[in-house]
Amino acid sequence: MSWLTLGELIHTTLVFATAIIFASLGGVFSEKSGVTNLGLEGLMVFGAFAAGVGGFYAEQAGLGGTSAAWVGVLSAAVFGILVSLIHAVASITFKADQVISGIVINFLAAGSTLYMVKLLFEGDGDTGRIQGFSEISIPYLVDIPIAGKAFFQAYPTTYLAILLVIIGYFTLYKTPFGLRLRSVGEHPGAADTVGIKVNRLRYIGVMISGALAGIGGATITLTTTNMFSHNTVSGQGYIAIAAMIFGKWNPLGAFGAAVFFGFSQAIRNYVQLFAWSQSIPQEIIFMLPYLLTIIVLVAAVGRSRAPAALGQLYDPSKR
Amino acid sequence: MANLLKIFTKDSFVLALVSIILGLLLGAVVMMIGGYDPIVAYSALFSRVYGDSYNFGEAIREMTPLILTGLAFAFAARAGLFNIGGEGQFLVGMTAASIVGIKLHGLPAIIHAPLAIIAGAVFGGLWAAIAGYLKAKRGVNEVITCIMMNWIGLYLANLVINQFALMEGENRSVDIQPSASISIEWLSQMMGNARVHWGTAIAVLAAVFFYIFMWKTKQGYELRAVGFNQDASRYAGMNVNRNIVKAMFISGVFAGLAGAFEVLGVFHYQSVMSGSPGTGFDGIAVALIGMNNPFGVLLGSVLFGTLTYGSAGMSFSADVPPEIIRVVIGSIIFFIAAQGIVRWVVKPLYSKRKKEKVL
């Protein structure tokens, strides 16, 4: 493999990782507040759908390529928040099992987005092609050999994802809001004693996860597939859950795990460049990233500790 | 029998029933918003499933794997484990049954078919036990291993079929030996060639086994105790780790059986798959509708199977997109989970009844 290919490999890694970065970061916010979010997959599907529809109509309205795509991102965030409220209302207000209400989101997503697409696009199963984002390159830096192509020519959403990881980290660990959010996930009773509104913070945590997972889905529509159909997301939300756990519920850890998964997807495109890969069945190459994850988890990472009150109802009367 | 009935105490039964009605109503509203007539749609749905014997048989066929993947999720859930890996266990069980069904020659059906079923069950169980073992020994979260094992299982299934049993020029395996088939030929002929098979009966027996094991044996008691409180169980002298592995193994056996029956009873070959078939995930929904109770799972799979199989009829004769049924199922699960909402809906009915009594 030449150095040039290495640059391209990193580039493709980031393209694949972006959606997972957004969604796993969203998952971190929800679960740090104590609400399990298995609905990331569904939230991504809703986001991918909203981005497809929003982007399509924005283009119809005559907005130029990139601004139409940003309308798509915004629609995805708003739609993601709205849908995440179903999860929040059920699991926080009506005390439903958080695992179940997350799964409900996945079910609703699979059915309703396709139903709506068929209504809006006269029976078609997809939104039709939209322009989406095109890559931007940072002047001068992009001319650096290898690294330029690897890091400084990318979709704007990738830069947004990296920016949000940094903001997310500082918000969680360096601001009063972050401290409160984490306290609600660790010991809601104690948080309540000092006057923190437990349920309100949990709502905010879930809504942030909705917005971020929605944008995660949007990036797939707007950069990879350029349309929304039933298999646009296909399991990336579950990978995002894995990345969140793998990254120990820390934004930076989740970012690292997401890049790892992005790399494992990207490598499929490049491994056939090696002569030796011809003798290995393709399925084994496909299997490798998931095997590697398990091995890494078992060998190096060890026990990951979830927020203490994750998945538990907060009942003030039992304090 | 009294115990059996106690499971369906009127409270949980009424709640489930009201949830189903609310789900169907919500689906109707969504249909009306889309400009469809829900009455036409629902009657097309039910008349497809219960209209003629062929479709009825096919609907039963569709329910069978759902019973088993539903039991798989519910069994693990009773032991406090979240087995999201039913999908992978289903595929690995299917592949094991395929290989035994294809590769063994000259056995009488009375030996060959059970052998293939057992292979599917054992490999499904072992696949799940890996996740259980890693949780018990290394503390690795079973959700993440199960998600990974789903993908590995998918590619492993394809790898095995591609390497050992591929039909020349086709994207599927060769057919299994007739001696490994569990199709019920005479019943199938009576039902217009609907693909009915013995797996359905075994699935129902599996639900009975689930009930007896969980609530009538010491081992079942231990599993439930571990699911309820690990620390207390450990203090009481139970081997928590062994129970985790055991629970995952049995859970995987159910999912593996589901996969085995799809090959041995329905298709008689295994396709090379580009993506997961989703039966494992549907089992989660079935288990949730059935509130992790084995007989609830049976009813849940009847409901789920009816709705999904019937949804095709809905799109043929009423032109309603069949995806709407996923919304209905999702809402049913939502209402069952968020019982607070249902209680709030049912409350006026209850208080009215009380008033009548007073009068």
pLDDT score for B350: 64
pLDDT score for B239: 87
Q: Annotate chain A with three-state secondary structure.
A: CCHHHHHHHHHHHHHHHHHHHHHHHHHHHHHHCCCCCCCHHHHHHHHHHHHHHHHHHHHHCCCCHHHHHHHHHHHHHHHHHHHHHHHHHHHHHCCCCHHHHHHHHHHHHHHHHHHHHHHHCCCCCCCCCCCCCCCEECCCHHHCCCHHHHHCEECHHHHHHHHHHHHHHHHHHHCHHHHHHHHHHHCHHHHHHCCCCHHHHHHHHHHHHHHHHHHHHHHHHHHHHCCCCCCCCCCHHHHHHHHHHHCCCCHHHHHHHHHHHHHHHHHHHHHCCCCHHHHCCHHHHHHHHHHHHHHHHHHHHCCCCCCCCCCCCCCHHHC
Question: Does residue B28 surpass a pLDDT of 80?
Answer: yes
Distance CA(A212)–CA(B74), nearest Å, equals 31
Which of B138, B158, B337 is nearest residue A104 as measured by Cβ atoms?
A: B337
Asked if B121 contacts B115 with a C-beta cutoff of 8 angstroms, the reply is: no
Which of A86, A94, A298 is nearest residue B140 as measured by Cβ atoms?
A: A298
Question: Does residue B150 or residue A3 have the better pLDDT?
Answer: B150
Q: Per-residue confidence at B300, pLDDT binned at 50, 70, 90?
A: very high
What is the distance in angstroms between the Cα of A238 and the nearest Cα belonging to chain B?
7
Q: Which of A20, A115, A268, A292 to mutate: most B Cβ within 10 Å?
A: A115
For chain A, which residues make up each domain, given as ranges?
Answer: 3-318
The tens digit of pLDDT for each residue in B226-242 reads 888 888 888 888 888 99
pLDDT score for B4: 52
Q: Which residue in the block uniquely carries the two structure tokens 């491994």?
A: A271
Low pLDDT (below 50) residues in chain A = none
pLDDT score for B358: 47
Q: How many C-beta atoms surround the C-beta of residue B311 within 10 A? A: 25
User: Number of A:B CB contacts under 8 A?
Assistant: 142
pTM, two decimals, is 0.88
Q: Which fold has domain A3-318?
A: ABC transporter involved in vitamin B12 uptake, BtuC (1.10.3470)
For residue B331, which residues of chain A lie inside 8 Å, CB to CB?
104, 108
For residue A108, which residues of chain B lie inside 8 Å, CB to CB?
326-327, 330-331, 334
Q: Per-residue confidence at B10, pLDDT binned at 50, 70, 90?
A: low
pLDDT score for A214: 96
pLDDT score for A299: 76
Distance CA(A135)–CA(A158), nearest Å, equals 10
For residue A294, which residues of chain B lie inside 8 Å, CB to CB?
134, 140, 145, 148-149
Question: Does residue B1 surpass a pLDDT of 50?
Answer: no
Which of B134, B155, B333 is nearest residue A104 as measured by Cβ atoms?
A: B333
Tell me what the mean pLDDT of segment B319-330 comes to.
Answer: 89
The tens digit of pLDDT for each residue in B186-219 reads 898 888 889 999 999 999 999 999 999 999 999 9
For chain B, which residues make up each domain, given as ranges?
Answer: 59-302
Enter the tokens of residue B184: 């019920």
Question: Does residue B320 surpass a pLDDT of 80?
Answer: yes
For residue B275, which residues of chain A lie inside 8 Å, CB to CB?
231, 234
Q: Which of B31, B133, B141 to mutate: most A Cβ within 10 Å?
A: B141
Contact A103 B288 (CB under 8 A): yes
For residue A99, which residues of chain B lie inside 8 Å, CB to CB?
82
For residue B340, which residues of chain A lie inside 8 Å, CB to CB?
93-96
**The CATH number of the domain covering residues in B59-302:** 1.10.3470
What is the distance in angstroms between the Cα of A87 and the nearest Cα belonging to chain B?
9
pLDDT score for B21: 92
